[in-house]
Structure 1
Amino acid sequence: MQIRRHLLAVAASLGALAVVIPTPALAHCDSMDGPVVHDAQRALSEANLTPVLKWVTQEDEDEIRSAFQMTLAVRGESDAAMQVADRYFYETVIRVHRASEGEGFTGLKPAGSVDPAIAAADRALQTGQVGPLADELASAVRHGVEERFADAYQKRQVAEESVAQGREYVEAYVQFTHFAEGVQHLTEAGASHQHRETSADH
């Protein structure tokens, strides 16, 4: 009973936290149809923690093992207890996983909230076929470059005619060059959560 009260209290506090903290763009690991929850569901159904451990560091294993044991201890009491306990376990794994990447936990998101590009990347890993994803991303980058270039080039032609037009050109110039810079950084160094959020600020 004490464990159950602890689970209810933690689940309630995590839910409240999700209300006050804004949701970051490109949420992935914190959605109900994301890979972390998928492995957590499998771990609970099989009573085997192994599928989850790859998402956390060795230093965080003890916390995850404790949450796992508490969840298993109460989830058989009733359907309601199972829902609360399972959600507590999902949120604990996600929170610990994101903390290891230097990211905060902002609440468990509903299924369907994964960014389409990330969902496509997951499908590529599942099917072993990366061609469609690579083509789609390449097309999106080309469209983004061409669109920003056309805007900046057009405004550059009249940038000296007035201060207002000059400022419009500068704004378009910044958009164009920052987009190109962001793509280059991604291709050269990959993308962490922090890099994606920094790029979004531009």
Structure 2
Amino acid sequence: MRDISTTRTTKYFKRTLLVSAILSAINLSAVSAQETNQTVEDDDKDVERIMVTASKRLRGLQESPVAITVVSGLAVDQAKVLDMNDLQTLVPTLRVTPLQRSINTNFAIRGFGNGTNNTGIEPSVGIFIDGVYRSRAAAQIGDLPRLQQIEVLSGPQSTLFGKNASAGVINVRTMEPAHTLEGNIELGAGNFNQKLVKGYITNGITEELAFSLSGGFQ
């Protein structure tokens, strides 16, 4: 005849072991999830986040439902891009075709553009510099000493940028004025008697007001 108290003690011991195993598994899962979240947060801090204004508000590049090619100001400086014509070396989808005059320059994105040499026909690729629309190529091609980044939007963008953006948009952003004194002057010379001078200066006036002055000659 088995001892009833011994049997009860064995069952209680087995249940205790089972509960302990379940609690240990839960604690391990919680610790693992916490470590995973910490690793993701650390990775997010290490990865540079690219911000764009393609949707008329500042948001991350991966959050924008538009095909965008972003060229940073550093890349423009390293590639010695002087105007929109040189920009096509950094943006594969962009084609710039200079014609008789700079005002007749044709822009095409993904092969789509107005393809015309008629000054009276409006372009199908919109050029915006700090949110201001440039209606003619003569105003679109210029040096920007304090360039932050250039966003090239592929495909129709007329919903946000108007009728002259049926093929795409080139959105140029310059740096905001700094509250600390900063300046730069660049001189250059090249073939065919090329001379290049450009520079900028920025500084704070008050705690809430700053100015930025830039210019260039080519």
TM-score by length of 2: 0.25
Q: Which has the higher strand share?
A: 2
TM-score by length of 1: 0.26
Asked which structure has the greater RCO (Cα within 8 Å, sep 6+), the reply is: 1
